[in-house]
Amino acid sequence: MKRRLLVLGLGSLLGATAAYAHHSFARDYAEEKQISLEGDIVSFEYRNPHAWVYFNAADGSGVVRRFGAEWANPRRLEQQGVGATDLRPGDHIIITGAPHRSATTYNVHLKSIRRPADGWTWPDARGFRR
């Protein structure tokens, strides 16, 4: 009986730790707001726990900054047709997303991305997340 309680207790602790580690995007991003940024990709990191698109774009005051766009995890992106080689440094993109809650942190929670040169978009025109 003691062993069963110990196992249940440890299992609950591990589950709570995992749930805490995977935070809500709303903790870091103002999900009720939306901004659009246009710029050129510096790098695309297709890794866990979330993929990141780093790009140079002008901020609200016109100063060019390096932004990071936090995306979904690679497994989800793969299921939606987005691969590790779909975005490359130098690609000109337009990203729409929720801005970071800190005005001095140049990150967004990516909601849509478009590459005007060839019309590549996520999600696509039908709303399907590739």
Domain boundaries defined on the chain: 26-122
Dihedrals phi, psi of 65, to nearest 5 degrees: -130, 160
Which helix (H) or strand (E) covers residue 44, if one does? strand 35-45
Class for the domain spanning 26-122? mainly beta
Residue 29: pLDDT above 60? yes
Q: What is the pTM of this model?
A: 0.78
Residue 110: pLDDT above 50? yes
Decide which of 49 and 16 is more confident: 49
